[in-house]
Amino acid sequence: MDATVTLKDVAARAGVSVGTASRVLSGSPATSAAARERVQAAAAELGYRLDARARALRSARSHAVGLLVSDVRNPFFADIAHGAEQTALASSYVTLLANANEDTAQQDTYLDAFLTQRVDGVIIAPQGEGCGNLRTLEQARMPLVFVDRTVEGFDVPSVTADNAQGIDLAVAHLVAQGHTRIGYIGGPPSVSTGRARLSAFLNAIARYDLDDDPELIVGGDFRRASGGAAGAKLLSSRRPPTALLAVDSLMAVGALTEVRRRGLRIGHDLALVAFDDIEWFGELDPPLTVVAHDARALGATAMRLLLDVINGGTAESVVLPMRLIPRQSSTVRAKTAVAHTAT
Amino acid sequence: MDATVTLKDVAARAGVSVGTASRVLSGSPATSAAARERVQAAAAELGYRLDARARALRSARSHAVGLLVSDVRNPFFADIAHGAEQTALASSYVTLLANANEDTAQQDTYLDAFLTQRVDGVIIAPQGEGCGNLRTLEQARMPLVFVDRTVEGFDVPSVTADNAQGIDLAVAHLVAQGHTRIGYIGGPPSVSTGRARLSAFLNAIARYDLDDDPELIVGGDFRRASGGAAGAKLLSSRRPPTALLAVDSLMAVGALTEVRRRGLRIGHDLALVAFDDIEWFGELDPPLTVVAHDARALGATAMRLLLDVINGGTAESVVLPMRLIPRQSSTVRAKTAVAHTAT
DNA sequence: TTGTAAGCGTTATCAT
DNA sequence: ATGATAACGCTTACAA
């Protein structure tokens, strides 16, 4: 009823000392059955709720962890957040979810907030060259786990997808349809997944003996607009590609729009393969072939690792496999793609 | 360098008392220029970071607010969260984002966590009949704001969309195309928006003299699968509707899938209008006509209200307008729509 | 098993 | 303007 009922109140009502009350409520074994009962009752009657800040201040454990994603509105990261959060909850940890919004400054702001709030650990999908507050966290010996992305020069456990495998699945799939000119819509070099995917793609070009025209490789920033711009650049080149590979869902949507705007049809005039399996990708026209990772598992695993580190364990990095989900956006074979004729 | 550098360390290094150090760092005017300079320098050199828990403990202000959405993976709520978070950040408040996952028990769990963490206020998109911990929050006089949804019997300021107007826009639009049999895919009656939209739809039926066949009204739960089920039920009835109105984006996608599965074409055999303008709705085939609210504004406004309440103000509820974005999914006129086979 | 009391890092109230 | 010092609500030795 009252705004703030403290342990003292509970103790008074139960007729014991605050020490005893504290021991009962935090489940210490050194308590009598009688005390347990009376304290529990008093706490319930008074509607007592422990003050997490006070406890944390005294016991150096806040039972809160920070989760910093690069863009909450990206369904991929929303899923990661969901997975991580559920796992934390199961260990009665509270998750502070923050959104860097693909902005290095905001990333630093929130890392600072995490430090100030004295969370027990941080999971981050980092961006930028990792100078800023990431080093500060490390120096403060804050338990840290990277998810999806990593930063060079940090000895931090990570949970990532097997990007090389993903690219390989995509390229092999396109090659099987006879494509040799694949337009690559990549991520920014400042993000590890951007780099890993590009290098895997370059390898694939060599391995499958594809057209290595540098004009076929265009960089984006994991946002929708950049996918459109990249698509425009690729399609307006003198010898446009017969297939497009976008390494992020948002950029794929952007590219799709651009393709449409030009009156071309995906899966008909042009093949398209995207990264990330977003729930509604199957509803697009045509349904999009994707290379997918289990975002929820990514988040859940990262949280498990973090809780390990917090509890003094030494977590090993995990690489999760990707898988190809073939759908109609990539059914067009290379030869027909050039001919632009209807079926 | 060190794990924990406290105010005492800063004070010692600056050669002043902790009191003075505290005053300088919290921007009290009662400080000399000399002290300011030395303390600032010492803090910087030591890499001092204020302990939010200790401050909160002493000053009864945690500078943290809780935001509880019903489903982070729903883009609509992700946008709300983004708007709210950015607004909070501008007032240097930290947002604890939690996900009820459309689950009343989890909602209660997080409300409890907010209470325990002693946040300064809570924004919630509530569900259920509002018995649980919502009452507890109210009794604890926790500043509270409802966003998107409300709960009966709570005197809490809210930021909602004008659902009646939204329904009206949608129905008027469909009526203008000659539709009189509109299939309604609604939300759960346990959520205020579900109720408000249904009642507005019933009004619209009367006002526009539409077919009031009760079979045309099917309930869902704001999740994708329920939209599919509802669509199936509507389309397999003896006299199927010529247009579908889904009051949520996820259910609209579910319905769309079901329509496709039956070999029907939206915008051709059947009109479809959805609530919520999701970024990629324009990319579906055909682009979806929607009744949209500005989710980001919803979140930002809610946070503004909450900060008002926290600072002792008395916030007034806000109702934001909706608007119709006509696209190709509703271009089919009623007459051509009848010509299809039911399964 | 229980009570007492000393902190945890701040801020706020006093004097000075 | 500044320095002591007492809280804030809790946990945890240390005694009893």
**Structure confidence by residue, pLDDT tens digits, B160-193:** 999 999 999 999 999 999 999 999 999 999 999 9
Closest-CA residue of chain B to A1: B139
- Percentage, residues of chain A above pLDDT 70: 96
Give the pLDDT confidence score for residue B105 in this predicted structure.
87
| Averaged pLDDT for residues B139-145 | 93
Distance B195 CA to C12 C1' (A): 50
User: CB neighbours of B342 closer than 8 A, spacing ≥ 6?
Assistant: B235, B236, B237, B238, B240
Structure tokens at B192: 């205020």
Backbone angles phi, psi at B27, to 5 degrees: 70, 30
Measured over the CA atoms of residue A255, residue A260, residue A265 and residue A269, the dihedral's sign is negative
- A14 vs A9, B33, B297, CA distance in Å? 9, 52, 49
Nucleotide nearest A10, from its CA to each C1'? D9
Distance A19 CA to C6 C1' (A): 13
| Averaged pLDDT for residues B135-154 | 94
pLDDT confidence band for B246 (50 / 70 / 90):
very high
For A141, the closest of B3, B49, B50 (CB atoms) is B3
Contacts of A94 in chain B (CB under 8 A): 96, 98, 113, 117
Contacts of B68 in chain A (CB under 8 A): none
Give the pLDDT confidence score for residue B103 in this predicted structure.
85
Structure tokens at A51: 């003050």
Give the pLDDT confidence score for residue B342 in this predicted structure.
40
Structure tokens at A314: 């030494």
> Is the distance from CB of A96 to CB of A66 less than 8 angstroms?
yes
| Averaged pLDDT for residues B248-276 | 94
List protein-proximal bases of chain D (any atom < 7 A from a CB). 1-5, 7-13
Structure tokens at B309: 């309440």
- What is the full DSSP assignment across B193-218? HHHHHHHHHHHHHHHTT----GGGEE
Domain B64-161+295-321: state its class.
Answer: alpha beta
The Cα angle at residue B231 between residues B225 and B233, in degrees rounded to 5? 105
For A62, the closest of B53, B62, B284 (CB atoms) is B53
Give the pLDDT confidence score for residue B60 in this predicted structure.
86
What's the gap in Å between the CA of A99 and the closest CA on chain B? 8
Domain B163-293+325-336: state its class.
Answer: alpha beta
Give the pLDDT confidence score for residue B330 in this predicted structure.
94
Cα B217 from Cα B245, distance rounded (Å): 10
* Strand D at less than 7 A from CB of A18: yes
> Is the distance from CB of A146 to CB of A98 less than 8 angstroms?
no
Give the pLDDT confidence score for residue A132 in this predicted structure.
82
Give the pLDDT confidence score for residue A272 in this predicted structure.
97
Contacts of B284 in chain A (CB under 8 A): 280, 283-285
Give the pLDDT confidence score for residue B306 in this predicted structure.
98
What's the gap in Å between the CA of A323 and the closest CA on chain B? 22
pLDDT tens digits along B77-130: 999 999 999 999 999 898 888 888 888 888 998 999 999 999 999 999 998 776
> Is the distance from CB of B247 to CB of B223 less than 8 angstroms?
no
Distance B308 CA to C13 C1' (A): 29
Nearest alpha carbon to residue B277 among B75, B68, B71, B72: B75
Give the pLDDT confidence score for residue A130 in this predicted structure.
63
Cross-sheet strand order for the sheet of B217-219: B217-219, B182-186, B243-246, B271-275, B289-292, B323-325
For A284, the closest of B62, B139, B285 (CB atoms) is B285
Side-chain half-sphere of B28: how many Cα atoms within 13 Å? 12
Phi-psi region of A120 (alpha: psi -120 to 50; beta: other; left: phi over 0): alpha
* Strand D at less than 7 A from CB of B140: no
* Strand D at less than 7 A from CB of A58: yes
> Is the distance from CB of A271 to CB of A337 less than 8 angstroms?
yes
User: CB neighbours of B156 closer than 8 A, spacing ≥ 6?
Assistant: B138, B144, B145, B146, B150
Q: Which residue has the tokens 């060079």?
A: A152
Cα A296 from Cα A286, distance rounded (Å): 25
CA dihedral A303, A299, A219, A206 (to 10 degrees): 90
User: CB neighbours of B29 closer than 8 A, spacing ≥ 6?
Assistant: none
Give the pLDDT confidence score for residue A286 in this predicted structure.
84
| A133 membership: H or E segment, kind and range | helix A132-139
pLDDT confidence band for B337 (50 / 70 / 90):
very low
Cα A275 from Cα A248, distance rounded (Å): 5
Domain B7-59: state its class.
Answer: mainly alpha
**Facing residues of B270 across strands?**
B266
Shared fold status for A7-59 and A163-293+325-336: no
Give the pLDDT confidence score for residue B270 in this predicted structure.
95
Give the pLDDT confidence score for residue A158 in this predicted structure.
98
For B53, the closest of A53, A96, A282 (CB atoms) is A53
pLDDT tens digits along B23-42: 999 999 999 999 999 999 99
pLDDT tens digits along B54-78: 999 999 889 999 999 998 888 899 9
Nearest alpha carbon to residue A293 among A171, A165, A198: A165
| Averaged pLDDT for residues B235-242 | 95
Kindly report the pTM of this predicted structure.
Answer: 0.90
- Annotated domain spans of chain B: 7-59, 64-161+295-321, 163-293+325-336
- From the CB of residue B159, how many other CB atoms can be counted at a distance below 10 Å? 27
Per-residue pLDDT tens listing for chain A (343 residues): 446 899 999 999 999 999 999 999 999 999 999 999 999 999 999 999 999 999 999 998 899 999 999 988 888 999 999 999 999 989 989 888 888 888 888 899 899 999 999 999 999 999 877 668 899 999 899 999 999 999 999 999 999 999 999 999 999 999 999 999 999 999 999 999 999 999 999 999 999 999 999 999 999 999 999 999 999 999 999 999 999 999 999 999 999 999 989 999 999 999 999 999 888 888 887 889 999 999 999 999 999 999 999 999 999 999 999 999 999 999 888 764 444 433 3
Distance A11 CA to C14 C1' (A): 31
